[in-house]
Amino acid sequence: MSAARPQADNRPVTGDPSVARPVLDAADLGRALTRIAHEIVERNHGAADVVLLGIPTRGVSLARRLGERIAGIEPVTVDVPTSVPIGSLDVTMYRDDLRLRGVRPLEPTEIPSGGVDGKVVVLVDDVLFSGRTIRAALDALSDLGRPRAVQLAVLVDRGHRELPIRPDYVGKNIPTSLTETVHVLLEDIDGRDAVLLGPADLARAAAEETTR
Amino acid sequence: MTTPPIVRTLPRHLLSAADLNRDEALLVLDTAEELARLADRPIKKLPTLRGRTVVNLFFEDSTRTRTSFEVAAKRLSADVINFSAKGSSVSKGESLKDTALTLEAMGADAVVCRHGASGAPHRLANWIRGSVINAGDGTHEHPTQALLDTFTMRNRLGRIEELRVVIVGDVLHSRVARSNVLLLSTLGAEVTLVAPPTLLPVGVDTWPCSVSYELDAVLPKSDVVMMLRVQRERMYGGFFPTTREYSRRYGLDARRMATLPDDAIVMHPGPMNRGVEIAAEVADSVRSTIVEQVANGVSVRMAVLYLLLGGAFIETVEAAA
């Protein structure tokens, strides 16, 4: 395992391997969000029935920023009297790996007052990896109501799916090795916007191994 | 998820309020706060403890605690087995240990135990592999009651730290008082016990709280007043001359309630003796949190069950890694 060199885009990694390599900078990240916002509006012929639900913690922050951008594209009109409702959906209690590690603290779930029944719910998360978080989110959502449709927006799709789950909106596809780490940094949580690709984290890799 | 989850956990058993340090107690309260929102949802159920078995082992009568634990476990999808001493083999002379081993053989992941003898859950914890939750043992402790009381205080008053809490009445026979004193002092509240000298336990001077015999002197300086029931079923002697005199000196009536600061709340762990320790008009006033306490009990017990049973035991994870 120690021989595994971090690989990305089939390019050899140069420089100090202990330093995470930036993949998206603040401007790239902003552009990706703007594009996703446009795609959501385009796909749903407006934003009238759209509800954005972020998965804590960074998904919530991304959902908020997508909401701001959608408001900029689709101004409030008579048909669409309010801006896009934004909420958060904690999936902890629905995870399938709860019993494989220590207990996790819960994050807030805030469902907008209009609920999700008959709405187009766009789940927002920072990184799409195995797909298990999204599976848990779909289960959590079905206990909250019956949306007309559920879509998935992620900032980074790093591959390695373990379930038949596919995102509808992707900020950037980043091919990764299983042991690499993807760090999404966001202004309101981390002080700056960036996506970093970190080298193999062996401790984490070992932990992942036990959960498989 | 990009960040590895923060692993925080509780001790394996919840036997005493003193088992929890500040962070652990706050973790329970924060978790309970998230779980409380479940009550507003159409489906009040989470799949988290599916396939886990919770045994309610009650050797003493209880309505609210047993139902509260049962509802909590069911909302988390655990299987619940209710076992009361009446109508079980205990009435045929089976010992606590044999009962415990029977439950163990049935695969109980958690045993919620109420027993008339102080320390019974503690003994139980040595015999079985699952988690033991003390749901009240004799005159010793009732940690989940203390957690739900603190949860209620934090909900109503926004904080625990530096709250002035007065616990009034039969402290001698009260497991609620002991657990509350321990938990509240861990969380930084200032607790005062008020009782006639005959209803204070030996060694109360070593508890992390102050003691007073004069209710009227303490009330104007308190944020929370917790009234305790006079536990006649545990009294085998004269602890005060008459109920009327007790009520006169240590009961909370409207006149005494009026001396409280404006935002102070009145609590009671139930069951109440209206007219003895608490007047009916006080129990039904807006300051009273008695009904809230019952609702909060479910959320807090869900939090405890989730935190004890929801994850792997840390030592198992480390061994596997």
Strands B164-168 and B190-194: parallel
Is residue B92 flagged as an active site residue? yes
| pLDDT average, residue stretch A192-196 | 93
**Nearest residue in chain B measured CA to CA from A108:** B34
| Tokens linked to A181 | 């780490």
Kindly report the length of chain A.
Answer: 212
Helix (H, G, I), strand (E, B) or coil at A68: helix
Structure tokens at A203: 């401790």
Of B34, B306, B311, the CB nearest to A101: B311
Specify the fold of B143-289: Rossmann fold (3.40.50)
pLDDT band at A16; cut points 50, 70, 90: very low
pLDDT above 60 (res B99): yes
Protein fold of B17-142+295-320? Rossmann fold (3.40.50)
Instruction: State yes or no: pLDDT of A3 exceeds 70.
Output: no
SS3 content of chain A, % helix, strand, coil (to 5): 30, 25, 45
- List the catalytic residue out of B142, B154, B229, B301: B142
Under 8 Å between Cβ of B143 and B163 = no
Q: What residues does each domain of chain B span?
A: 17-142+295-320, 143-289
Question: Quick one: residue B56, left, alpha or beta (phi over 0 = left, psi -120 to 50 = alpha)?
Answer: beta
Average pLDDT over residues A12-30: 73
pLDDT at A150: 98
Active site residue B142: yes
pLDDT-derived band at A212, boundaries 50, 70, 90: very low
φ/ψ of A82, rounded to 5, equals -130, 165
User: Which of A143-157, B189-203, B299-313 shows the lowest mean pLDDT across its residues?
Assistant: B299-313
Phi-psi region of A24 (alpha: psi -120 to 50; beta: other; left: phi over 0): beta
Q: Which of B1, B35, B38, B75 to mutate to test the interface with A (most CBs of A within 10 A)?
A: B1
Q: How far is B46 from chain A (nearest CA, A)?
A: 7
Quote the pLDDT of residue A202: 55
Residue B5 banded pLDDT, cuts 50, 70, 90: very low
Q: Looking at A102-106, A111-115, A122-126, B85-89, which range is the least confident one? A: B85-89
How confident is the model over B280-289, as a mean pLDDT? 95
Please judge whether B306 and A107 are an interchain contact, meaning their C-beta atoms are less than 8 angstroms apart: no
Spell out the domain ranges in chain A: 26-177
pLDDT band per the 50, 70, 90 thresholds, residue A102: confident
Question: String of b and e for A42-62 (b: at least 16 CB within 10 Å)?
Answer: eebeebebbbbbbbbbbbbbb
User: Is B256 an annotated catalytic residue?
Assistant: no
Task: Say whether pLDDT at B47 is over 70.
Answer: yes
**pLDDT over threshold 90, residue B48:** yes
CA distance B300 to B28: 7
Per-residue model confidence (pLDDT) at position A81: 59
Q: What is the CATH number of domain A26-177?
A: 3.40.50.2020
SS3 A198: strand
pLDDT tens-digit map of A49-79:
999 999 999 999 999 999 999 998 877 666 6
What does pLDDT average to over chain B? 90
Q: Which three-class secondary structure state does DSSP give residue A55? A: coil
B143-289: same fold as B17-142+295-320?
Answer: yes
> What's the Cα-to-Cα distance from A129 to each of A11, A40, A176, B32, B122, rounded to whole Å?
21, 21, 10, 30, 44
**What pLDDT shows up at residue A98?**
86
Cα distance from B70 to chain A (closest Cα, Å)? 19
